[in-house]
Amino acid sequence: MQSLHTPIARSAEAIPSSHISKPGVMGHNVDTDNNNATTVSDPQSSDAVRLESPVYKLLIADDHPLFREAIADVIRSRYPDAEILQSENLDAAAELADAHDDLDLILLDLNMPGMHGLNGLMQLRNDAPTIPVVIISAEEDKSIVLQSMTYGAVGFILKSLPREKMTQALEQVLAGQVYLPADVIRSTTDNNRNRRRHIDEHAIAPEMLNSLTRRQLLVLERMANGESNKQIAYTLCIAETTVKAHVSAVLRKLNVHNRIQAVLSAGNIDFNQYLKR
């Protein structure tokens, strides 16, 4: 499967999103703190801005070519240097995920051939546990949305979202955060007590935490703070492939199936206590 966009060399170290200026138009940058456009003083500085922009590698798995092209256009408008792969069924998506373990995100259609509902999501998460998966679907049933999160998705983006909202959703998940439709967030907010009780029931046992190395604890702490693998690699001054290896080890030692479960379980951990040892 060929990429829609010619890939460029990926930087060895990622830059945290807080240090990155969003590319604007007509030779402008957008100040991410106050959203005020400021003119670039150096007319050649746009090349420097382009080099500083995050370079992501994404897989769009959807059986509708027109939608794949539409979402690819949304991605390119925000991340011009993104490398975009495409697949039209689950088998092809799994093959690409296996061949490209440096993927930053998989956008997965819930109803394309081979998915069989949420079974396809579970299969992909088992085959590629370190690659975040976001469901992108026309399905608006809240129970399906929440089940997707339970089975390892890090977000659920509705195909009916306006272009601007879809761009914001992509920014959010690429920054290592979870994205859910607004009405689902409102309904789940009403059940905060139940969620907290669920977290308490699934708290990580001290012996499991003690089995983690210091580096793995640092990675887990960054995961709990919502950082992506790129951000963790930059903060800890290690390669992104090393971060992925640590994430896999953390998931295995904590006996959880995906990143979201690890983050939820780590919500009440006093990391300073374990890092002092």
In this predicted structure, which of 144-153, 195-204, 253-262 has the lowest mean pLDDT? Answer: 195-204
Per-residue pLDDT at 203: 63
Amino acid (1-letter code) at residue 42? D
The rounded distance, in Å, linking the Cα atoms of 53 and 56 is: 9
Return the higher-pLDDT residue of 102 and 3: 102
The rounded distance, in Å, linking the Cα atoms of 121 and 153 is: 8
The per-residue pLDDT of the chain, averaged, comes to 77
Instruction: Kindly tell me if the per-residue pLDDT of 130 is higher than 70.
Output: yes
The rounded distance, in Å, linking the Cα atoms of 158 and 136 is: 6
In this predicted structure, which of 62-66, 104-108, 126-130, 204-208 has the lowest mean pLDDT? Answer: 204-208
pLDDT tens digits, 183-206? 766 555 445 455 555 444 556 777
Per-residue pLDDT averaged across 62-77, rounded? 95
Instruction: Kindly tell me if the per-residue pLDDT of 229 is higher than 90.
Output: no
Return the higher-pLDDT residue of 151 and 53: 151
Per-residue pLDDT averaged across 144-156, rounded? 88
Per-residue pLDDT averaged across 61-70, rounded? 94
Return the higher-pLDDT residue of 275 and 180: 180
Per-residue pLDDT at 141: 84
Per-residue pLDDT averaged across 83-95, rounded? 96
Choose the most confident range, by mean pLDDT, from 2-11, 89-98, 124-133, 268-277: 89-98
Per-residue pLDDT at 185: 61
Question: For the chain, what is the HEC assignment?
Answer: CCCCCCCCCCCCCCCCHHHCCEECCCCEEECCCCCCEEECCCCCHHHHHHHHCCCCEEEEECCCHHHHHHHHHHHHHHCCCCEEEEECCHHHHHHHHHHCCCCCEEEECCCCCCCCCCHHHHHHHHHCCCCCEEEEECCCCHHHHHHHHHCCCCEEEECCCCHHHHHHHHHHHHCCCCECCHHHHHHHHCCHHHHHHHHHHCCCCHHHHHCCCHHHHHHHHHHHCCCCHHHHHHHHCCCHHHHHHHHHHHHHHCCCCCHHHHHHHCCCCCHHHHHCC
Instruction: Kindly tell me if the per-residue pLDDT of 238 is higher than 60.
Output: yes
Q: Which two tokens stand for residue 30?
A: 């957008």
Per-residue pLDDT averaged across 164-169, rounded? 94
Return the higher-pLDDT residue of 153 and 225: 153
Per-residue pLDDT at 146: 85
CB 242 within 8 A of CB 233: yes
**What are the structural domains, with CATH classification, of the chain?**
17-188 (3.40.50.2300), 193-266 (1.10.10.10)
Per-residue pLDDT at 3: 43
Per-residue pLDDT at 245: 93
Instruction: Kindly tell me if the per-residue pLDDT of 74 is higher than 90.
Output: yes
